[in-house]
Amino acid sequence: MFYPTTMTQPVTANRFTAFDRLRGLIMVVMAIDHASFYIARVHASEYWSTLPPFYESHGGASVWWSFVTRWITHLCAPGFFMLMGASMVWLGKARQQQGWSHARIRKFFITRGLILLVIQQLVEDPAWLLGFISSKVPDTLMDRAPGGGYEAFVPVLVISALGVGMIVWSFLIELPSVVVLAVSALALAVSVLMTPLATQAATLFPVWQRLLFVPGHTNFIDVVYSFVPWLAPAGLGIVLARLVYKRPEKTMWLSVAGSIVLLIMFVVMRSASQGDPHSPLPGFIGFMSLTKYPPSPAFFSATLGIDLLLLAVFAMTVATRWLAPLEVFGRSPLFFYLLHLYVFGIASFAFPNGTSFPVMYAVWAVAIVAMYPACRWYGRFKSSTPSESVWRLL
């Protein structure tokens, strides 16, 4: 159930090191995607309403530079949600050991989810605005969301979807693991059924449909991360965390097994969809181009399969100290997320017309190194606060 009590060995810090390092790697790789937006001024948006894009070439960069840069960062959002689900189980167990009731733990998750919704609108959005203000690149270089109407001023991004996911799972997390997996599969299946045809790209779907299933723009709201499909990787994280909690020594094998299953599913699904010899996206790029908004089953299979494979690698290399810096980023994810947006937002004024990908990667690397001390300080500060501190909600 929610808080497993049967374990084969005592709780140790090393149990979570692999997960912290995966989270840290995801944060660092995610920053590449955002550096591409702010610095190189190239950023694809793989919406349901368009064919998976040929990755744009800009500033002398090749299609392959653009494709690889975008594709590796696809691992981040599914990994965020999977690790959020896992963290909910472990945090709930820790609070229960401190005497918290299930109702009190649920209130904690709900409060944190609501805070994330507020942070996205009041703290995150201004950082994205810096990138648009500083840009002199024509809008045609950026994919536009399906839909329309008057100008949007309420975006719904990944932090909002994480917040809503935390609230929803706070009510469902005590369900048996098989039911959690069934709910996750149902959420993804319903999302697929609710995804419109590409011919409906200009339709102004109602706000509830945008929020739950259909990313896009309807008048005042612009939804990038619809809520329902992203419940699926969080549910997978919940089940994974329960298994690891009971059998921590099996982390590597559990991750490898899950990875193999998901990657086989990906190859099967993509092979079935590539039967048209006249496909507008032939070859390897066509095979690997996936719909992210909303995430397709193939998208989740590929990205979560690779995330689990990386988790297995980290589980095998816990004693490898040169990977330890990833733990610093992995233990202060929200702080890193907000900080890096403002760092790149400010830096974007030096690149109003964009730049090449090699220069963008150099800026990214400098920013990561510069942010490390701040993230290390914040992680230590947060861990020193009481369990009821407001900082624990962040």
pLDDT digits (tens, 9 = 90+) for 196-250: 999 999 999 999 999 999 999 999 999 999 999 999 999 999 999 999 988 888 8
Quote the tokens at residue 271: 């092979």
With tokens 């536009």, the residue in question is 144
pLDDT, residue 294, reads: 96
pLDDT, residue 141, reads: 40
pLDDT, residue 12, reads: 46
Distances (CA, A) of 95 to 56, 60, 368: 48, 53, 32
For residue range 116-137, what is the model confidence (pLDDT) as tens digits?
999 999 999 999 999 999 998 7
pLDDT tens track, the chain, 394 positions: 455 544 444 444 455 899 999 999 999 999 999 999 999 988 888 899 876 555 554 444 467 788 889 999 999 999 999 999 999 999 999 888 889 999 999 999 999 999 999 999 999 999 999 999 999 876 544 456 899 998 878 999 999 999 999 999 999 999 999 999 999 999 999 999 999 999 999 999 999 999 999 999 999 999 999 999 999 999 999 999 999 988 888 889 999 999 999 999 999 998 887 644 444 555 777 788 889 999 999 999 999 999 999 999 999 988 888 999 999 999 999 999 999 999 999 999 999 999 999 999 999 999 999 999 999 999 999 888 887 777 776 7
pLDDT, residue 58, reads: 46
Query: Which has the closest alpha carbon to 73: 105, 46, 47, 95?
Result: 46
Its pTM stands at 0.92
**Planar angle of CA 282, 283, 285, nearest 5 degrees:** 95
CA separation for the pair 24, 2 (Å, rounded): 25
**Planar angle of CA 36, 214, 33, nearest 5 degrees:** 10
CA separation for the pair 190, 85 (Å, rounded): 20
Question: Long-range contact list for 54-59, CB < 8 A, 24+ apart?
Answer: 54/281, 54/285, 55/285, 56/141, 58/137, 58/141, 58/354, 59/353, 59/354, 59/355, 59/356, 59/357
CA separation for the pair 86, 88 (Å, rounded): 5
pLDDT, residue 387, reads: 75
pLDDT, residue 55, reads: 54
DSSP code string of 144-205: PPSEESSPP-EEE-HHHHHHHHHHHHHHHTTS-HHHHHHHHHHHHHHHHHH---GGGTT---
- What are the b/e assignments for 19-49, b being 16+ CB within 10 Å? bbbbbbbbbbbbbbbbbbbbbbbbbbbbbbb
